[in-house]
Structure 1
Amino acid sequence: MFDFIDFHHVDTDKVDVRATLIDGATEFELHISGTPDAVNIIGATSVVSRVNAERLAGMYRQALESMAADVHGDATCGVVPAVEVERLAGEWNPVVPEPVERCVHEVFEARAARTPDAVAVVFEGVELSYRELNERANRIAHHLRELGAGPDRLVGVSLERGLDLLPALLGVLKSGAAYLPLDPANPVERLGYILEDAGASLLVTMSGLESVPADYAGTRVLLDADAAVIASRPSVNPVPVASPENLIYVIYTSGSTGRPKGVALSHANVLRLLLSADHDFTFSSDDVWTLFHSYAFDVSVWEMWGALLHGGRLVVASFDTLRSPDEFLDLLVAERVSVLCQTPTAFRSLTALAAAGDPRIDELGLRAVVFAGERLETGDLLPWTDRLGLSGPVLVNMYGITETTVHSTYHELGELDLAQPNRSFVGRPLSDLAI
């Protein structure tokens, strides 16, 4: 309890205010009382040690000294003693770097060699094994190299959701280049601006796809029209030419504060994200992920490479399925999806089905739901947690921005989150980051 006491009119010769209002014990295990001449800290040592009580006193002193030094300053600003800043930034926020020595596609190649017959990608009932995905990507990579693709060069990819998408993205990476996602679901004006601004001289797409401006001056690789040429390319892994510090993709922001801007990330950025997050999730080859988000939105990076680099299975949801909560729930149940990534807004449709008593909710195989992209309103989750609790599956709030590679923090929701629905905890930093 914090209690500020200031009697403007009191006869102190007759009334000893401090005797009863400042020093008396209360039911609170930590009681801070302030008067015009003192700040008193009364704490139960079983809860707040003397050392920590003295630290707390130091923080109040720092705040008071700052107020006295600048009486017209910002009353809402945080003032913390230097030793506490050091404790927060260093001792309590240790950074353990994740060593990265390979590129994303090289980690995938090792997985494909280890489990070539395992299912890698599924779309509308059709499957690609790790061997098939690797070989299709290799042929695209060799073809792109013949056309000049290489390290730190951008190759645009404009494809509908389906089985062609992952081989194309992997093929770009295996060529040594970085992919520039151009989702046909976006307005053609935006895609034209991105192509011009990024300067991508190569574009992987399909014939007749009207998402790409007709006046695009670069070289188009048409996966359907050029299929025979691509099929003639070698199916073996290309000789590596990129390093972990080379570009892996450039994703453009929404442009809500002006013109869209391209955020350039490296292979090392993505691998360290997955390595550090794995300390919390322990992903495995048994996990089934969904590609729910657009591959032009950075959460897709977590979905695609999280699945494939851990040897798991990636279920690509069709555009029509994404628009139907019923069909999406059917997909989650049928494919035994275990890791689901959602914006809080998108998850409301599943929460509504849980609230309505839909029996399919109890058939889910989820072990983790990861929220990202928006502020999480925990009060909205109550119909879900009333039905499934907080551990089946665990609910995780991950906060981050495109510039810091998708996710920066981790927070597993607990009872405290549900009890304080007006607060949205973003949690602690991933093990190799500081906040």
Structure 2
Amino acid sequence: MLWRLSGNARPTVYASFAGREHEQMQGSIGLFSRNLPVTARFDGSFRFDEIVEQMRLAREQAAGYQGFYLPSTNTSEEAPVLLEYDDWRGTDPSSSTKVSLLRAWAPTDSYKVKLTCWRENGAWQLELYYDRGYFERASAQRFAKRFQVLLTAALTDWQQKTELLPILSDEDRKRILFGWNQTDAEYSNGSTIHSLFEEQVAKHPDRAALVSNGQHLTYGELNRKANRLAHYLRKAGIRPDVLAGLFLGRSTELMVGLLGILKAGGAYVGFNPGTPKPHLAKQLVGVKVLITEEKLLPQIPQDFTGEIFCVDRDYALTRNEPEENPVSVANSENLVYVIYPSGSTGIPKGVAVRHRNLVNYSEFICNRLRLHAHGQGLKFASVSTIAADLGNTCIYPALISGGCLHLISYETSTDSQRMAQYQHDYQIDVLKIVPSHLKALLNSEEGARTLPRRYLICGGEALPWSLVEQIRSSSAECELINHYGPTETTVGSLTLSFMDSPSLSPEQSTTVPIGRPIANTRVYVLDAQLQPVPAGVGRRRACIAPAIWRATWKTGMWSFWDAWTIR
């Protein structure tokens, strides 16, 4: 049970011994009992009967040391888990006196959890004790319930592998797998992300859509520029599921290139201009057209065989292209982008995201931020590279809701004084940022003035409570949202808002919890055997959903995880 809950392959429990192993002590009066450590091994695939035999031998070995073992005098050590066993033989058949054991209790022990077992006349009695300084009553009751489930299954099949023995009741299992994953919601299934952008162009052609490095584009202007590039790229061979690269810094040209690729029907791959040539060469495999600028040409590997389009040098090539929306050739099942997670080693492993993945995610964020209540649209700030998906939380919800996207330069976003001035000038409403980046900004006199007006979204790293306290102690009134999710699940898959969870505190978790699954997403916490674990036990996390069914490129991972929804 301890192994299944903690993951520790060599858990230690303390077994109780009488301390009367020598014959001359058998009739002595006094308390000689002591608790000795006994370690189990779960670093292999053992059957339950093998574990029982292993523990029997370990207990016998420990018994030989009971006359020599001295418990630690270090009072700061954590209290142990105790196991106490007694074989109460009951009444002697030759005696006329009948004796029964009603209860066994030893209140002098120090422990976190203690299991007392005794056998009387062939029947087992078990009692579970716990230290209320460590556990609440409800937690101890859940532990006892799970132990009962495991023990019942083990006694039914002694030769079952220990990792396959259940610890969840049918009721708990259904609640964890299905009750907590009721996230079905309507979204624009069948739409592409650029078609949703075009809807906003039709509604608000003169509204500000994009700001970067002092340049401003309305929805109409951004759409016309992207359309001219899209018509050109389609002639260059960009079509559904064909990759085009973006090797640009944060600028209006970056978003023109991104939308142009999507409108042509293709999928984009974002690159960081600081990527080393050897790594960039591997990521460029399969890219048909690379959109860049002249000053970055020396950084492009010489063996790249695709077409290179420089936004500053080759702009005239698109001047005579139509400004109207190209006839859409991509659908929701086609790729929208391929991204290479920062942890990729060796041959780069791209994660391919489809339009419906991104549409589902973006519309969830729009609903989560209640953007429908802001008719004039909110101002979103992206402070990260297009080579990562962190900024997508701001990029796409902004452009499909009629908001204004600000692509803030690296120099500004990493300087608290500049960032505070930018916030003062443009009044950003929504900011998505990595906690370590935010901490660096807040550790200055101007830190509090860098925070957005309405929503602060943290993601990409664990959110420490110390940073939460910094935000709370500032004068900012923005709603804090913690966001988590691997790239494979399309940007993020869980959110937690402090406005919806005002009672959260550091006493409940080491770092801020990551919350509940987003729309059309199911989340399971699994052990090493891919079995669901009880609430509060963290081992491994997997996320699946119809909206992200094929979120990974060239892998069948998600069809495997979805087996839980079929059972």
Q: Go from structure 1 to structure 2 and tell me whether the alpha carbon gap of 1:7 and 1:184 turns closer, same or farther (over 3 Å shift).
A: closer
Structure 2 CA distance for aligned equivalents of residues 279 and 71 of structure 1: 47
Q: State the shift of 1:311 in Å.
A: 1.0
Q: Tell me whether 296-305 or 414-423 shows the greater mean CA deviation.
A: 414-423
Structure 1 CA distance for aligned equivalents of residues 394 and 494 of structure 2: 17
Q: State the shift of 1:64 in Å.
A: 3.2
Structure 2 CA distance for aligned equivalents of residues 70 and 385 of structure 1: 55
Structure 1 CA distance for aligned equivalents of residues 176 and 325 of structure 2: 46
1:404 matches 2:485: no
1:301 matches 2:392: yes
**SS of equivalent residue, structure 1 residue 92:** helix
1:324 aligns to what? 415
User: What is the identity, as a one-letter code, of the residue corresponding to 2:516?
Assistant: R
* Contact kept in structure 1, 2:366 and 2:397, CA below 8 Å: no
Q: Go from structure 1 to structure 2 and tell me whether the alpha carbon gap of 1:18 and 1:178 turns closer, same or farther (over 3 Å shift).
A: same
1:136 matches 2:225: yes
**SS of equivalent residue, structure 1 residue 225:** coil
Q: Please list, as runs of the form range in 1=range in 2, the aligned pairs for 1:138-157 lying within 5 A after superposition.
A: 138-157=227-246
Structure 2 CA distance for aligned equivalents of residues 363 and 322 of structure 1: 9
- Please report the TM-score for the alignment, with normalisation by the length of structure 2: 0.65
Q: State the shift of 1:59 in Å.
A: 3.0
1:84 matches 2:84: no
Q: Go from structure 1 to structure 2 and tell me whether the alpha carbon gap of 1:81 and 1:352 turns closer, same or farther (over 3 Å shift).
A: same
Of all paired residues, the percent bearing the same amino acid is: 29
Q: Go from structure 1 to structure 2 and tell me whether the alpha carbon gap of 1:65 and 1:109 turns closer, same or farther (over 3 Å shift).
A: same
1:214 matches 2:295: no
Q: Go from structure 1 to structure 2 and tell me whether the alpha carbon gap of 1:41 and 1:306 turns closer, same or farther (over 3 Å shift).
A: farther
Structure 1 CA distance for aligned equivalents of residues 450 and 463 of structure 2: 25
1:278 to 366, 376, 387: 366
Q: State the shift of 1:139 in Å.
A: 0.3
1:166 aligns to what? 255
2:459 aligns to what? 372
Q: State the shift of 1:151 in Å.
A: 0.7
Cα deviation 1:250-270 (Å, max 9, x = unaligned): 111224444321111111000
Structure 1 CA distance for aligned equivalents of residues 129 and 479 of structure 2: 39
1:118 aligns to what? 207
2:282 to 184, 190, 193: 193
Q: State the shift of 1:388 in Å.
A: 4.2
Structure 1 CA distance for aligned equivalents of residues 194 and 215 of structure 2: 23
Q: Tell me whether 122-131 or 374-383 shows the greater mean CA deviation.
A: 374-383
Count of aligned pairs between the two proteins? 410
* Contact kept in structure 1, 2:84 and 2:114, CA below 8 Å: no
User: What is the identity, as a one-letter code, of the residue corresponding to 2:443?
Assistant: A
1:334 to 425, 438, 461: 425
2:116 aligns to what? 35
- Please report the TM-score for the alignment, with normalisation by the length of structure 1: 0.83
Q: State the shift of 1:363 in Å.
A: 8.1
User: What is the identity, as a one-letter code, of the residue corresponding to 1:87?
Assistant: R
Q: Go from structure 1 to structure 2 and tell me whether the alpha carbon gap of 1:200 and 1:7 turns closer, same or farther (over 3 Å shift).
A: closer
Q: Go from structure 1 to structure 2 and tell me whether the alpha carbon gap of 1:3 and 1:93 turns closer, same or farther (over 3 Å shift).
A: farther
Q: State the shift of 1:107 in Å.
A: 0.4
User: What is the identity, as a one-letter code, of the residue corresponding to 1:113?
Assistant: A
Q: Please list, as runs of the form range in 1=range in 2, the aligned pairs for 1:88-107 lying within 5 A after superposition.
A: 88-99=176-187, 100-107=189-196
User: What is the identity, as a one-letter code, of the residue corresponding to 1:426?
Assistant: I
CA RMSD of aligned residues (A): 3.5
2:291 aligns to what? 204
Structure 2 CA distance for aligned equivalents of residues 180 and 220 of structure 1: 14
Structure 2 CA distance for aligned equivalents of residues 403 and 180 of structure 1: 15
Cα deviation 1:211-233 (Å, max 9, x = unaligned): 32233211122222221221111
**SS of equivalent residue, structure 1 residue 299:** coil
* Contact kept in structure 1, 2:423 and 2:450, CA below 8 Å: no
* Contact kept in structure 1, 2:338 and 2:350, CA below 8 Å: yes
Structure 2 CA distance for aligned equivalents of residues 348 and 415 of structure 1: 23
1:225 to 287, 290, 313: 313
* Contact kept in structure 2, 1:205 and 1:223, CA below 8 Å: yes
Q: Go from structure 1 to structure 2 and tell me whether the alpha carbon gap of 1:271 and 1:376 turns closer, same or farther (over 3 Å shift).
A: same
Q: Go from structure 1 to structure 2 and tell me whether the alpha carbon gap of 1:148 and 1:420 turns closer, same or farther (over 3 Å shift).
A: same
2:504 aligns to what? 416
Larger relative contact order (Cα-Cα within 8 Å, sequence gap ≥ 6) = 1
Q: Go from structure 1 to structure 2 and tell me whether the alpha carbon gap of 1:57 and 1:232 turns closer, same or farther (over 3 Å shift).
A: same
Q: State the shift of 1:384 in Å.
A: 2.0
User: What is the identity, as a one-letter code, of the residue corresponding to 2:183?
Assistant: V
1:313 aligns to what? 404
Structure 2 CA distance for aligned equivalents of residues 375 and 216 of structure 1: 38
Q: State the shift of 1:171 in Å.
A: 0.3
Structure 1: give runs of 5+ residues left out of the alignment.
Answer: 22-31
**SS of equivalent residue, structure 2 residue 406:** strand
Structure 1 CA distance for aligned equivalents of residues 239 and 328 of structure 2: 10
Q: Go from structure 1 to structure 2 and tell me whether the alpha carbon gap of 1:423 and 1:34 turns closer, same or farther (over 3 Å shift).
A: farther
Q: Go from structure 1 to structure 2 and tell me whether the alpha carbon gap of 1:347 and 1:237 turns closer, same or farther (over 3 Å shift).
A: same
Structure 2 CA distance for aligned equivalents of residues 336 and 78 of structure 1: 54
Structure 2 CA distance for aligned equivalents of residues 244 and 290 of structure 1: 26
Q: Go from structure 1 to structure 2 and tell me whether the alpha carbon gap of 1:279 and 1:61 turns closer, same or farther (over 3 Å shift).
A: farther
Q: State the shift of 1:89 in Å.
A: 1.4
Choose 1 or 2 for highest CA Rg.
Answer: 2
**SS of equivalent residue, structure 1 residue 110:** helix
Q: State the shift of 1:364 in Å.
A: 4.9
Q: Go from structure 1 to structure 2 and tell me whether the alpha carbon gap of 1:379 and 1:113 turns closer, same or farther (over 3 Å shift).
A: same
Q: Tell me whether 422-431 or 237-246 shows the greater mean CA deviation.
A: 422-431
Q: State the shift of 1:182 in Å.
A: 1.8
